[in-house]
Structure 1
Amino acid sequence: MRLILLRHGRTTWNAERRFQGQADPPLDEVGRAQAYEVAALIAALRPDVLVSSDAQRAAQTAAPVAEVAGLSVRLDPRLRERSLGHWEGLTRDEVAERFPSEFADWVGGRDVSRRGGETREQVAERALAAFAELPDVATAVLVTHSATAMALCNALLSMPQQVHVLGPLANCHWSELLAEHNDHSGPVWRLRAHNIGAPGAVAPLPVRLDGFSEDAPDADA
């Protein structure tokens, strides 16, 4: 199997660097254009099945993919973004001001469950459950969210959830994984590509003078 993990297009909240989590803002004008642009690229991979998070921003991204690829979309709430508790709806600056110790943990790459949201392990568990129900096909596309895609990637690649080595996906970019058969222990997953999208510039995350991004490894949301 080839697995494509596609992140949704941009929302106004993304542009404002506002934590989304399981809040449900729609795609903005840029995000809608991104979804139509990426649809042909994903369709060219000849997917056999298309499953999307039931969040508006993901379903709206999946719709043009389905149209171009000639597929139907199945919505699955287990592919939603990581729940962020009381951070949802706040900007980075607002979280830093209201919850400085939590924000410091997040910037340091540490899991922050005390904000009332999910742990990375919990996100990986539900995403794996959705993945396990995919039919036996050559190519499957999951339209999801940055932190959820990273958690599922880590799980399939047998990497710990404490550190997201691959980093967050840009809007309407994807990771591609391939399963290689192993007679002794079942399929072994390999990462073939990461952060692939339509040609063109992608706005990078701001970088501090010490060389670190302003965002933690599981940034989005």
Structure 2
Amino acid sequence: MKDRGLIMLRHGETTYNATRRMQGQLDTELSERGMEQAVAAAHKLGHLPISRVISSDLRRAADTAKLIGARLDMDVEIDPRLRETHLGLWQGRTHDEVDVEFPGKRATWRNSPGWAPPEGESRLDVAARARPVIDELLAGHSDWPGTWVVIVAHGGAISALTSNLLGFRTEQYPLLTGLKNTAASVLVGRPRFGVENPDVTRGDAQWYFRGWNVFGEV
């Protein structure tokens, strides 16, 4: 059976990224540099056999995805389950501002995937929200084998979803470094080894890691 390729690409730079301000689910826009990054990512993906492009509904991701879709002459599907982590009371604040009001808590957040900022989501929450998007693709996307699906989303959401798909234990989630703008997590799905009569259309797939921070600027 042919591999199912999955490219989960982070959006281009926003002014919040450039000023180390925490966005979460704030609907921020791409900076000029972010638009250029998105165009460059679209060209890098142009040679691949891509069957679908699916994006978070937040503008920074959706606008990145539209540039990719235009390069591929494909429509972009929008799914709000791919939104970034809701950062609660931290949204809109700089790293320094959060560190002053919540000393030590950003480190707790980075290293404890079950911990959430005040009034926000944990990485485990995000993984549980986003995972059904992939499972539904497996169940209903008959053209996927032998092609790539591109997911355009956000650094935290992609990290959480990657960890979930690979079956990481909770304590392993922090092993992935930060994902750069327009860089990607690359996985392939195959029938699960050792399962009698595996049927990947019902989500019975094993995911394998092909790369992290792929395509983007290093």
TM-score interval, smaller chain? 0.7 to 0.9
Q: CA deviation at 1:130?
A: 1.5
Q: CA deviation at 1:104?
A: 4.4
Q: CA deviation at 1:133?
A: 2.1
Q: How does 1:129-144 map to 2 (within 5 A)?
A: 129-134=132-137, 135-136=141-142, 137=144, 138-144=147-153
Residue 157 of structure 1: aligned partner: 166
SS where residue 194 of structure 1 aligns? Answer: strand
Q: Give the length in aligned residue pairs.
A: 199
Alignment partner for residue 80 of structure 2, among 66, 77, 80?
A: 77
Partners of 2:183 and 2:215 in 1: how far apart? 4
Residue 195 of structure 1: aligned partner: 213
SS where residue 99 of structure 2 aligns? Answer: helix
Whether the aligned pair in 2 keeps the contact of 1:151 and 1:161 (CA below 8 Å) is no
Residue 7 of structure 1: aligned partner: 10
Residue 173 of structure 1: aligned partner: 183
Whether the aligned pair in 1 keeps the contact of 2:87 and 2:117 (CA below 8 Å) is no
Partners of 2:170 and 2:55 in 1: how far apart? 22
Partners of 1:161 and 1:52 in 2: how far apart? 26
Whether the aligned pair in 1 keeps the contact of 2:38 and 2:182 (CA below 8 Å) is yes
Q: CA deviation at 1:95?
A: 0.2
Unaligned runs of 5+ in 1: 203-221
Higher helix share: 2
TM-score (norm 1): 0.85
Amino acid of the residue matched to residue 207 of structure 2? W
Q: CA deviation at 1:101?
A: 4.4
Is 1:116 matched with 2:115? no
Alignment partner for residue 50 of structure 1, among 53, 65, 81?
A: 53
Q: CA deviation at 1:106?
A: 2.9
Is 1:27 matched with 2:45? no
1:101 and 1:193, CA in 2 relative to 1: closer, same or farther beyond 3 A?
Answer: closer
Amino acid of the residue matched to residue 7 of structure 2? I
Partners of 2:52 and 2:170 in 1: how far apart? 27
Unaligned runs of 5+ in 2: 199-203
Whether the aligned pair in 2 keeps the contact of 1:120 and 1:161 (CA below 8 Å) is no
Aligned-residue RMSD, C-alpha: 1.6
Partners of 2:102 and 2:117 in 1: how far apart? 11
1:157 and 1:104, CA in 2 relative to 1: closer, same or farther beyond 3 A?
Answer: closer
Q: CA deviation at 1:193?
A: 1.2
Identity rate of aligned residues, in percent?
Answer: 38
Residue 154 of structure 2: aligned partner: 145
Q: CA deviation at 1:177?
A: 0.3
Residue 206 of structure 1: aligned partner: none
Q: CA deviation at 1:180?
A: 2.0
